[in-house]
Amino acid sequence: MATISRPSKAASRTAKLNKLCEKFVYFGAGGNRNNFQTLEECQTQCPESANPCAVAVATPLGQCTAGVRNCGAGNFCHVGASPQTTICCPKPVNACKIGTPYRSQGVVVHCSSSNPTVCPAGHYCHIGAGPPTSVCCQSLGGDPCAEPWTKGEGDAALTRFYYDAVQRKCFAFNYFGTKGNQNNFLTKEQCEARCPVWINPCSMGQPILTPNQRPYYCHIGFDELTTACCPSQGDSCTLEVKEGRGRMEGNENNFLLREHCEATCPVWVNVCPKGEPHLLHTGMPQHCDPLNEDSCPESHWCHPGPDASTTMCCPGRVDPCMSAMSEGEGPLQLTR
């Protein structure tokens, strides 16, 4: 196993409990933002204390006194164990229809339309009227396109779009801001990209569709008799490999040439510990500079890989100094 050593850039990671910058060996992928290439960078970035609020705050709201209403509208006085942790915190708002918003390290995880992958499996990004109600909610299960549309609850007036499975079209509606479901799209284009809105290409009649209103695909067999239209099972790039039987019974993840496969599906390695990296319009990850916070969207952080191909914007930007040490995974041994 090759060992990559960078003595001139011996990086460090903060230990969450003792708040010190310490060396560790990073395996090259799957780590988090608490991953610095130099000791100086770690010590510069991590003098902060823990956030006592259950909701992440961009700037401190100031200290307060228990029993005295001096935190302003929408906030409350969090009484901590010391004056430093007795501060004004935003009042949590439960925008979810089922359960409560997902939390990481006791803090509500906020998401956005540009950063939906920060939500873990079993959750989806509920986009509310602003950051307080844009949170990870429990998924209701099933296909979002099959869920009934709902106006939700609240006093907001947000133009959203829902999919009508009977008419196979997307329509605008007024969303009240909370307690909605996944059949709730910011734009008509997003709705039509996610749900089966088909244009009839036939000169006469209707095309043959599966029971879930999706088209069939052309199964390329070994002769004319086994080359036929089969029901589509979904995105060919996300389906598992299916070898079939007797050169039959495969699925759409089956290409004649490697060039066809790579032209259809983006080819890259996901080094993010959670979710997918921020993708460009080409379907490829956005590369970044670990020393430049602005090289990624506000909701993402720059994963420092061993080379440019694995240095990309990952979801879930948090305070690196409050993240536990993570050795990641992979065959490399990088001094960090």
- Which residues, in sequence order, are CB contacts of 283 under 8 Å at separation 6+? 266
In a domain, 230, yes or no: yes
Tell me phi and psi for residue 26, to 5 degrees. Answer: -105, 135
Tell me the residue range of the domain where 230 lies.
216-264
The conformational region for residue 62 under phi > 0 = left, psi -120 to 50 = alpha, else beta, is left
Q: What is the pLDDT of residues 3-12, one digit of tens each?
A: 333 333 334 4
In a domain, 250, yes or no: yes
In a domain, 18, yes or no: no
Instruction: Indicate if the pLDDT at residue 48 is higher than 80.
Output: no
CA angle, 253 then 286 then 40, to 5°: 135
Instruction: Tell me how many domains the chain contains.
Output: 1
In a domain, 243, yes or no: yes
Q: What is the pLDDT of residues 270-325, one digit of tens each?
A: 899 988 899 887 778 999 999 998 999 999 999 999 888 899 999 998 888 888 88
Instruction: Indicate if the pLDDT at residue 23 is higher than 60.
Output: no
Mean pLDDT of the chain: 80
* Residue 21 binned pLDDT confidence (cut-offs 50, 70, 90): low
Q: In this predicted structure, what is the pLDDT of residue 16?
A: 42
Q: What is the pLDDT of residues 56-89, one digit of tens each?
A: 665 666 888 887 878 877 788 888 878 877 888 8
In a domain, 148, yes or no: no
* Residue 20 binned pLDDT confidence (cut-offs 50, 70, 90): low
* Residue 164 binned pLDDT confidence (cut-offs 50, 70, 90): very high
Alpha helices (runs of H) in 21-121, residue ranges in sequence order: 39-45
Q: In this predicted structure, what is the pLDDT of residue 123?
A: 94
Alpha helices (runs of H) in 143-276, residue ranges in sequence order: 188-194, 258-264
What is the average per-residue pLDDT within 234-242? 81
Q: In this predicted structure, what is the pLDDT of residue 191?
A: 93
Q: In this predicted structure, what is the pLDDT of residue 115?
A: 80
In a domain, 229, yes or no: yes
Give the closest residue to 133 by CA, choosing from 114, 156, 110, 102: 110
Instruction: Indicate if the pLDDT at residue 242 is higher than 70.
Output: yes
Instruction: Indicate if the pLDDT at residue 22 is higher than 80.
Output: no
Cα 6 → chain centroid? 31
Instruction: Indicate if the pLDDT at residue 259 is higher than 50.
Output: yes
Instruction: Indicate if the pLDDT at residue 107 is higher than 50.
Output: yes
Q: What does the block give as tokens for 160?
A: 């959203």
Q: Tell me the whole-structure pTM to 2 decimals.
A: 0.45
Q: How many angstroms separate the CA atoms of 261 and 270, rounded?
A: 18
In a domain, 233, yes or no: yes
Instruction: Indicate if the pLDDT at residue 30 is higher than 80.
Output: no
Beta strands in 187-263 (DSSP E): 216-219, 228-231
* Residue 161 binned pLDDT confidence (cut-offs 50, 70, 90): very high
Q: In this predicted structure, what is the pLDDT of residue 97?
A: 93
* Residue 1 binned pLDDT confidence (cut-offs 50, 70, 90): very low
Q: In this predicted structure, what is the pLDDT of residue 211?
A: 67
* Residue 207 binned pLDDT confidence (cut-offs 50, 70, 90): low
In a domain, 46, yes or no: no
Instruction: Indicate if the pLDDT at residue 268 is higher than 90.
Output: no
C-alpha distances out from residue 311 to 45, 143, 291, 327, Å: 19, 33, 11, 16
